[in-house]
Every structure is written in structure tokens, then in C-alpha cells.
Structure 1
Amino acid sequence: MSTTTGACNDDAPIRVLLVDDEQLVRSGFRLLLDIEDDITVVGEATTGAQAVERARATRPDVVLMDIRMPKMDGIQATRAITAANELRNVRILILTTYDTDAYVFEGLQAGASGFLLKDAGPAELLHGIRVVAAGDALLAPRITRRLIAQFTARRTADEVAEKRLSVLTAREREVLALVGQGMSNDEIGAALFLSPATARTHVSHAMVKLGARDRAQLVVIAYRTGLVTP
């Protein structure tokens, strides 16, 4: 699932912070990223706490974040980074494996903009970094909307849907429901007979009104309020 909402300067390389407690993994990522003209690695971190510290020091566009790390894990680090006002433009791309799929919901709630499986190929990883750097939401094909629904539906009762959605116009609700289904701006426009630019405007208004950091969080809200059901 990806969409179009610009977040970084198109003329400048995408600044990436690598976070993983395994040196071999970080080295592999660096080798892959260093040969790309539009991506530059600005730092590395081996723990969640170090990731927060390095994010403050380097102000990356994207943090490539592992989940399983000692002391402070990737979810906690993501939460700390996205909660920091001075790091509001930093996007988190979390790497997960099949046995950590349960972290998907918590990661989205913490402010992650995307997820990739650790066995993703080089092209998929590079695409993911570019998508997230552009301000879009990314979910790996195998991390499906059904999976998100599984973890968000359990919490639907925690939200008072009408109160949460009352700030939206009827059109914005329609758009939010389609965002929750993983549609792009072009697809939303086609479904509602709107131009992609108008669809994007409605998405932006919904984000502001609901206090969503990005489209990934709109997906969570759509499920939690019952606007989209599994």
C-alpha cells in the first residue's frame, strides 16, 4: 500500500539511519544503500536508545528500524522518535519477520510509516525507503490488511467511533474508509469520481482533523472506529 504525499526535498539524497544490533546486517544494508545516488547513510545504531540519540544528532529522513534489540526495542524507539517534536519529519520503516507480525499494530500506533519483511530483496528495500521518505505508507505485500484488521479489530471497543469521526465531513469519511482499504489517491479519485488532487486534499484534511501523523495511522483509525471492518 503506498500513496503520494511529499515529505522530503526531491533534489537532496534521502538520509537514512540504520538501526540493528547485528553488525553484519548493518554492513549489508550500508553496502546496498551506498551505491544509490539518491540515498545516503548518515549513521548507525545498535540499540533502541542509541537510535533515538542518533536520530536527534543526524535528523535522518528515514530510520530503518529493527524490532528485536536489547533494553529498548524498535517499537519503543519508534515511539520515542515520533513523540519528539524536533523529529516530526523523521519516518520509520520497521523490519519484521513472520514471528514478529504481532508488532505490526503496535508499530503503527507508535508512528511507524511502513513495514518490510527482513527477507525482502534489495529492490523491495530500496523501494520501501523511497516510498516512506516521500511521506507515504508502506506495508509489505505479505503483511496484509487482513493482518492489520486482526490486531485493530480487537481494540474497536476502545474507541467511540462517532465521537472520533464527528470532525469529518461525509466526503472525508468516505475517503478515510477507502484509505483504510489501502487505496491510493488515484484509486480513491476513480472510486468517488474525484480528481487525484482533490482526493489528496480530502486525505490531508482527514489527517489534520484526526491528528494522524501519516496515512499509516489513518489506516489504524479506519479500523479502530469500525469504519472499515475485516
Structure 2
Amino acid sequence: MGDNARIIVADDHPLFREALQQALAPTMPGVSFVEAESFESLQAAVESCEDPDLVLLDLEMPGAQGFSVLTWLRSQHPALPVVLVSATSDAAVMRRAVDLGAAGFIPKSSTVDTISEAISAVLEGEIWLPEAALALDDAQLSEDKELARKVASLTPQQFRVLDMLADGLLNKQIAAELEVSEATVKAHVTAIFRKLGVRSRTQAAVAARRIESTTRPHA
């Protein structure tokens, strides 16, 4: 594990951020941490942190839904490894994250040794997943993988439009929420339809709900 690593810890729970840092510091000499509690503060942290080595990203980051933060990081900072940290232990969610460009996925229930092992592997350029995700049959993921590829092509703004569209909001309402013109929203919707390969708002909403369902632990 590299010395003097700079790690951005993005999670809205301050106690978890503190616990993670206390757990990792003894195994990573010289490591420094930058904290972020929302998508907005994460954007600022990535821009202000000099040569960060890794982002530890909570899957449920305030300010954006689902995988949109990961999508933004991969498009804007493709060389920066991102490891998702989440309460979910759903193997399909973990594999979906890697399909979208994550360098790893660590369940929050993991031991300190496991977290340390995962981060060490990622800093060495590897992809790290728990055994359950590695054992998942690829055939189970083929359809989801294709949808993930399409969703990964959306910009963060398009992802937000898609989420609102799935909630049944009209273009006028989406425009008001995002403080943009209706023409801009229409352009986004057209682009979303094209990228997802759908022809209606209903079909787009179904795709959005499939993505959203994978970001929640199954009952």
C-alpha cells in the first residue's frame, strides 16, 4: 500500500467518515484524508485536492441519485479510481458498479482488514470485489450490463432529468426544478431516449426504475 496516499472520503455520515479514517490510518503510513458529505462538496474536494489517489464513495451520496456520482467522476476524472462503499451486500449491485467504472465495492459491514485489503488492491491498480460478487454468474448480468452501459453514457444532468421523468414530472416541472428552460429539458429528454434506445417516457421510466432498484438493498 502506497505511502502518503491522498484519499477522498465521500459519505454523509460524519461518524462513518471518522471511523473509516481511524481504521485505515494505522495501516497506511502518511495517508491524508479529505472529507465530503454531499455531491457538491465532493466536486469541490476533487477540484481542490492535489493529486488524489482514491475516492471512497457512499452509494447514496446526497445531491444525486444512484450511480450518477460515479458516472460524473468517471467522465470528468477518468484516471481517479473510485471505490463504492455501501450498506448493501447485493452482489448484482456490486457487479453493476464495476460495469459502470468503479475500481471496487466495499460493503460497510466489512472488517477493517478487508477494507484495508480492498484499498491496497485498488491502489495497486486492481479491481476488488467481495467473493459473493466474484462468484455471480455472468449470464445473470448480461441484460443489466447492457442497460448499465447505456446509463453510463448519460451526463449527470441527463441522469437527474431521467430520475425526475421517472417520478412523473412534466417538462415544465423539471425545468423549474433544475432552473433551466423547457427547451433544454426537451433536448435532454431527446438525448436520453436516444442513448437508452427507448421511444417513450414510460419506457425511459422503466429503465430508470431498474437502475434505481439496484441501488437499494433487497428485502
Name the TM tier (shorter chain): 0.5 to 0.7
**How far apart, in 2, do the equivalents of 1:130 and 1:96 lie?**
18
Aligned partner of 1:117 in structure 2 is: 107
Moved more, 59-68 or 71-80: 71-80
Runs of 5+ consecutive residues of structure 2 not aligned to the other structure: 150-219
Q: Select the structure with the greater relative contact order (CA < 8 A; seq sep ≥ 6).
A: 1
Deviation at 1:146, TM superposition (A): 1.2
Aligned partner of 1:44 in structure 2 is: 35
Aligned partner of 2:58 in structure 1 is: 66
Contact 1:75 1:107 in 2 (8 A): yes
Structure 2 counterpart SS, 1:33: helix
State TM-score, norm by structure 2: 0.58
Contact 2:92 2:133 in 1 (8 A): no
Is residue 23 of structure 2 the alignment partner of residue 32 of structure 1?
yes
Structure 2 counterpart SS, 1:136: coil
Runs of 5+ consecutive residues of structure 1 not aligned to the other structure: 1-9, 160-230
C-alpha spacing 1:120/1:158, structure 2 compared with 1 (3 Å): closer
State TM-score, norm by structure 1: 0.55
RMSD: 2.8
**How far apart, in 1, do the equivalents of 2:61 and 2:44 lie?**
15
Contact 2:4 2:32 in 1 (8 A): no
**How far apart, in 1, do the equivalents of 2:146 and 2:66 lie?**
25
Percent of matched pairs sharing the same residue: 19
Q: Which residue, 73, 77, 83 being the options, matches 2:75? A: 83
C-alpha spacing 1:70/1:80, structure 2 compared with 1 (3 Å): same
Q: Which residue, 125, 128, 132 being the options, matches 2:118? A: 128
Q: Which residue, 89, 98, 106 being the options, matches 1:108? A: 98
Code of the aligned partner of 1:70:
P
**How far apart, in 1, do the equivalents of 2:36 and 2:53 lie?**
15
Aligned partner of 1:22 in structure 2 is: 13
**How far apart, in 2, do the equivalents of 1:117 and 1:37 lie?**
20
Code of the aligned partner of 1:67:
L
Contact 2:11 2:36 in 1 (8 A): yes
Aligned partner of 1:152 in structure 2 is: 142
Structure 2 counterpart SS, 1:139: coil
**How far apart, in 2, do the equivalents of 1:152 and 1:38 lie?**
41
C-alpha spacing 1:28/1:148, structure 2 compared with 1 (3 Å): farther
What count of residue pairs does the alignment treat as equivalent? 148
Deviation at 1:39, TM superposition (A): 5.5
**How far apart, in 2, do the equivalents of 1:81 and 1:53 lie?**
12
